[in-house]
């Protein structure tokens, strides 16, 4: 049954050769709530109050909408500050600050980072000590650099959120449930979900 549902979702959200995916059509001036990316499924929660869950869902929704708009600056503003040299190197790479003459963000414009978010849904929210762990499934489409064809991937990603105030959360880490750290050099878990 899951295969049928995923097949339906991919068929309806993966562009054909005749369709152009133009993420630039979503402008910053649009209301965040106008992008319909979130699939509504029941999710589980453990050691999380209803009020916390609502705020966490709002944080994830805002992040995913910025992803769909390919607004790397706003996406990265939702993270806690890098806390190690390796995290700072990861941040500098995504922002292009590691270049001799930085011109723009690498996010959404460099091979391996150039994807479009099509939809997501939350599977689980669990509080572990002072960290809120959120499991999310995302469908992304991207182009292979060698051909004009698009491909899709459906992946489980994990957000680790920290509470900043009673209703505000920051993303501390964003990574694949199935660890890909070995495949990308100089990659920290903090930003692993962008690759």
DSSP helix/strand/coil, 44: strand
Domain 43-194 CATH assignment equals 3.90.1150.220:
no
- Label residue 179 by pLDDT band (50, 70, 90): low
pLDDT number for residue 108: 66
DSSP helix/strand/coil, 135: strand
Residue whose structure tokens are 């049954």? 1
Higher pLDDT, 31 or 86: 86
Nearest Cα neighbor of 107 from 74, 78, 81, 79 is 74
Q: Could you report the per-residue pLDDT of 24-34, keeping only the tens digit for each?
A: 444 444 455 55
Give the residue extent of every domain in the chain: 43-194
Residue whose structure tokens are 């060698």? 146
The Cα angle at residue 47 between residues 41 and 48, in degrees rounded to 5: 55
Higher pLDDT, 23 or 115: 115
Higher pLDDT, 173 or 31: 173
List the structure tokens of 111: 């091979």
% the chain with pLDDT above 70: 69
DSSP assignment string, 93-119: HHHTTTSSS--S--TTTSTTT-EEEEE
Q: Taking residues 55-80, what's their average pLDDT?
A: 93
Cα 164 to Cα 56: distance, rounded to the nearest angstrom: 12
Contact 58, 50 (CB under 8 A): no
User: Going along 17-90, which residue ranges are E strands?
Assistant: 44-46
Higher pLDDT, 113 or 99: 99
The secondary element (H helix, E strand) that includes residue 160 is strand 150-165
């Amino acid at each position: 049954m899951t295969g049928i549902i995923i097949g339906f979702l991919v068929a309806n959200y993966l562009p054909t050769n005749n369709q152009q995916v133009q993420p630039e059509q979503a402008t910053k001036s649009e209301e965040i709530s106008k992008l319909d990316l979130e699939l509504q499924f029941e999710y589980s929660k453990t050691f999380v109050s209803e009020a916390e869950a609502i705020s966490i869902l709002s944080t994830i929704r805002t992040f995913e909408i910025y992803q769909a708009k390919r607004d790397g600056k706003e996406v990265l503003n939702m993270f806690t500050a890098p806390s190690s040299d390796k995290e700072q190197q990861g941040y500098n790479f995504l922002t292009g600050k590691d270049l001799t003459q930085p011109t723009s963000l690498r996010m959404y414009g460099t091979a391996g980072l150039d994807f479009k978010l099509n939809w997501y849904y939350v599977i689980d929210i669990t509080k572990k000590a002072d960290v809120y762990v959120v499991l999310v499934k995302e469908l992304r489409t991207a182009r292979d650099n060698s051909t004009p064809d698009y491909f899709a991937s459906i992946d489980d990603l994990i957000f680790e959120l920290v509470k900043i105030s009673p209703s505000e959360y920051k993303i501390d880490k964003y990574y694949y449930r199935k660890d890909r750290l070995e495949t990308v050099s100089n990659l920290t878990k903090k930003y692993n979900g962008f690759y």
